[in-house]
Amino acid sequence: INAIFHLGVCSIIYYKNLVDKNLYYLVLGLAITFITITIPVELNGNWVTLLWGAESVLLFWIGRTKKVNFYEYFSYPLIILTFLSLAKDWNNLFMDVNSLNNEVHINPILNIYFLTGLFSSVFFGVITYLNRKTTISTSISNNKNLYKIVSYGIPIIFIITLYATFRNEIAAYWEQLYHNSITSIENPNGYESKIFNYDLIKFESIYLFIYTFLFIGLLSIFNLSIIKSKKLGVVIFIISKIIIFFFLISGLYTLGELRESYLSTNINSEYSVGIFHVLIRYISFGFLAGLLVISFKSMKQLPIIQNLKRYFELFLTITILWVLSSELIHWMDIGNSSESYKLGLSIFWGIYSLILIALGIWKNLKHVRILAFVVFGLTLIKLFFYDISHLDTISKTIVFVSLGILLLIISFLYNKYHKKINS
């Protein structure tokens, strides 16, 4: 009623031209405020997010295209309110998924939470497009702090919303499967206990890594081909390396746990374990390789990232070593080898160091040669402080002879190509 009353007064002021425009905007602002307040009072949950999002798009579009700053200013708090309301909706999603009574069933894709996030992404995407394609008013551009907030804040909200919408849908799907996997088993003492299929949580983690690789890769391609923003390119480049680092630490460990579940003979008969416990490993490696290739292309196309070329080469070299080491352990574990962390890993690190030194001499990459010596040094430390105490005599002989031969080859290469190295 208050909103209707103020809109009526506002219309009279506008058509009769009774007072100064500042009073007109004040009354109009009160009307919009009452409408905004009405939405959460009369509606619940996701409808609040959707209507606030639609209202923010309308106000921003009018303000930017019609050059009425008042409308644009009013859209900013509505954008923030929409985002906060969406965050609350996502919290409600996981509260429903993790409910202990399992009474709530959320259909994949066709559920109110995903659709709300999708529509909100469209709203923020339209605002981002308008912000990029339309001319900003002089009063906003003169206010440097506000200009920076608008220029960077709106695209950031859009990207976060778009990413989180699909990310939360994937997480909710697997967590719902996990909670629905509850089953009862009878202990030897006659009591029943509840168990869950913990492999589903591990699959959730890997799928989230895969999705993140895909999202960052597509965002990088979109930036390189359409947006062509140097700052966004740098941010994507750095974030991609952080995500890869977390995958090397956490993702590879989770893949190892899935392998252990596949190899285990004590797995509960209630849960099926198949070859996909192993194949998911190579799907994730494929997306990891794709992201590294895209990062390499972005480094070539964006001059500002070329200054990071040396660091990228070191990061790429360490990543390959880490993944191949994990792969060696993976297959030695499948082959039931008890020396995967000892004999095999030490010899592989030595061979990898030799390859890096050869590559460093061939391409004249000093930082790669230094990294090779660091890896070889760590191999020797591991050999003397870990391998010796755990290997038998034959294994010790094999690893010492192998590393000795590798050291001789490295010494030969340095003596033969010392002029090229020192040039």
The pLDDT, as a whole number, for residue 421 is: 66
**Residue 185, SS3 per DSSP:** strand
The pLDDT, as a whole number, for residue 33 is: 80
Residue pair 274/248 in contact (Cβ under 8 Å)? The answer is no
For the chain, list residues with pLDDT below 50: none
Phi and psi torsions of 186, nearest 5° = -95, 125
pTM assigned to the model: 0.87
Residue pair 77/156 in contact (Cβ under 8 Å)? The answer is no
Residue pair 374/353 in contact (Cβ under 8 Å)? The answer is no
The pLDDT, as a whole number, for residue 339 is: 59
104-116 pLDDT per residue, tens? 678 888 889 999 9
Alpha helices in 134-143, H assignment, sequence order: 138-142
**Cα angle, residue 113 at apex, residues 111 and 119 outer, rounded to 5°:** 100
The pLDDT, as a whole number, for residue 291 is: 96
* Rounded Cα–Cα distance for residues 261 and 277 (Å): 8
Joined tokens for residue 12: 């009279």
The pLDDT, as a whole number, for residue 419 is: 67
The pLDDT, as a whole number, for residue 187 is: 66
Joined tokens for residue 279: 């194949």
201-257 pLDDT per residue, tens? 999 999 999 999 999 999 999 999 998 888 898 899 999 999 999 999 999 999 999
The pLDDT, as a whole number, for residue 219 is: 96
- CB within 8 Å of 283: residues ≥ 6 apart: 210
Phi and psi torsions of 344, nearest 5° = -60, -45
